[in-house]
Structure 1
């Protein structure tokens, strides 16, 4: 009997970044929580992990070694996003200084006045204030917790040698 762990790990490598990105995009476009610069930094590794996880899921039945490699790389990308989220949460809680730039959403206009009006009307989002929190944990804090838990789960699943046993 072969282990189902690589298949589960491949699916986790796809679903963890999909849910994290989905939550970020829903919070932005449905609830109006505009992302700051560090929020965007957290998304990039998840996009990479999403692609790697997709390759892992598609190849898990055909080329298991490729699937394991892609899921491993996806776990690394997910962990990187979580670490960026941890840094961002620390900035929000005032534990250390963050970046000095802020993010803003502007739309390009046809004239200089249109561009200037768009810049002036765009929301300015600070990296050192959490726009939303639940139980005292910000979105960046949840990214830290959930991403590192997801990356650890993928890693542990990939280390299984036999069903039910984790390699030492």
Structure 2
């Protein structure tokens, strides 16, 4: 089975769709299933929030500029965003699997309170979601692990138009 190449002009739209589905999945797990995110989970969403408007703009610009410098610059920014997202996912997965320590307020115990009132609020409040526990997994991979795979795929997909422009293959023939 041969792989069907994704034209450079459709890559931003694929990035946008996958990014939106990934964020939608995270929000579904949180609000429908009730799986509360830890602080590292919330940090991992930030690259996706940043990528949504950039992917949309890259999609619009690629239709108008026929893969000129603006969509390529936006796709380069998306590539960097998803490389950072991959790193965040690796860090969180490492904390979950005990490879290294996580943030102090996230990996067990209570964060140091600023006052007695803060301490009372912490003690009476809900148990904070720990970053070093895997609340859900599928095939031995946590959501942070899946974020690594998705982010890596999105980084590659975002880099595709850059690679094609660099090698001058398929840029003019896409549509």
TM-score normalised according to structure 2 size: 0.76
The answer to whether the 8 Å contact 2:38/2:129 transfers is yes
Matches within 5 A, 1:133-144: 133-144=137-148
2:38 counterpart residue number: 36
- Whole-angstrom CA distance in 2 between matches of 1:70 and 1:18: 17
Q: Using a 3 Å threshold, how does the CA distance of structure 1 residues 71 and 119 change in structure 2: closer, same or farther?
A: farther
* Higher-strand-fraction structure: 1
Structure 1 unaligned spans of 5+: 104-115
Shift of residue 155, structure 1, vs aligned partner: 1.0
Q: Work out whether residues 75 and 161 of structure 2, in 8 Å CA contact, stay in contact via their aligned partners in 1.
A: no
Is the aligned partner of 1:97 residue 2:101?
yes
1:50/1:74 contact within 8 Å kept: no
Following the alignment from structure 1 to structure 2, what is the Cα–Cα distance between the partners of residues 15 and 119? 42
Moved more, 155-164 or 86-95: 155-164
Point out where structure 2 has 5 or more consecutive residues left out of the alignment: 108-119
Root-mean-square deviation over aligned CA pairs: 2.5
Counterparts of 1:17-28 in structure 2, within 5 Å, are 17-28=19-30
- Range that drifts further, 16-25 or 155-164: 155-164
- TM-score relative to the length of structure 1: 0.79
Q: How many residues align?
A: 151
Q: Hey, which bits of structure 1, 4+ residues long, moved more than 4 A?
A: 116-119
- TM-superposed CA distance for 1:135, in Å, is 0.7
Q: Deviations over 1:7-32 (max 9, x none)?
A: 12211331232122111111100111
Match of 1:75 in 2: 79
From 40, 44, 47, the counterpart of 1:45: 47
